[in-house]
Amino acid sequence: MEQEKKSGAIIYPPENNIYSFTRFTPLSSVKVIILGQDPYHGPNQAHGLCFSVQDPTPPPPSLINIYKELENDIEGFKSPNHGNLTSWAQQGVLLLNTSLTVRKGSPASHSTLGWEIFTDKIITYLGGPNSKPGKVFILWGGHAQKKGKVIDRVNIFPFFFFFFPPNFLFFLSERE
């Protein structure tokens, strides 16, 4: 990544936002984990929270789809006219991507730079055999769904998974 930067490549999110997910959602307060692929790869979008975009950037298509699903499933939910999910993060929703950086205009460009090891450790901490039960895991997209293998299914027993548009895997733990 450093070599890319030296050659003039633009990397998203800006360095000071790469770890925003921990600034807004301390791991000790996580209730829900939403896992995406990698940050948005356009200007003024990525700010370290998956599926979230900075104001005044309008919601991208993937987030619009999420809002539509919420409108269908939650009585009274109205899609906001913005895409900034910081308030979700502040309420215990960890918005994490499998890769924390991306090269401008090139999705999955940093998927093999080691971020997968780092994010596996976070997911294992939150959903491993020694983690506190009762969390919800939502894994959106193929890269995120592959992370399901590091979630301890005994710890989050009973274990449910469903496939919904836009192709996400949902884990639910009812055990307290």
Sheet holding 163-164, edge to edge: 93-97, 32-36, 136-140, 168-172, 163-164
Cβ atoms of 166 and 70 closer than 8 Å = no
Q: Is 38 a known active-site residue? A: yes
DSSP state, residue 125: H
**Residue 53 in contact with residue 24, Cβ under 8 Å?**
no
Distance of CA 86 to the CA centre of its chain: 12
Tokens of 65: 């789809």
3, 69, 75, 113, 130 from 62: Cα distances, Å: 30, 11, 21, 24, 33
Query: Distance between CA 173 and CA 4 in Å, rounded?
Result: 41
Burial 114-140 (b: 16+ CB within 10 A, else e): ebbeebbebbbebbeeebeeebbbbbb
Residues annotated as part of the active site: 38
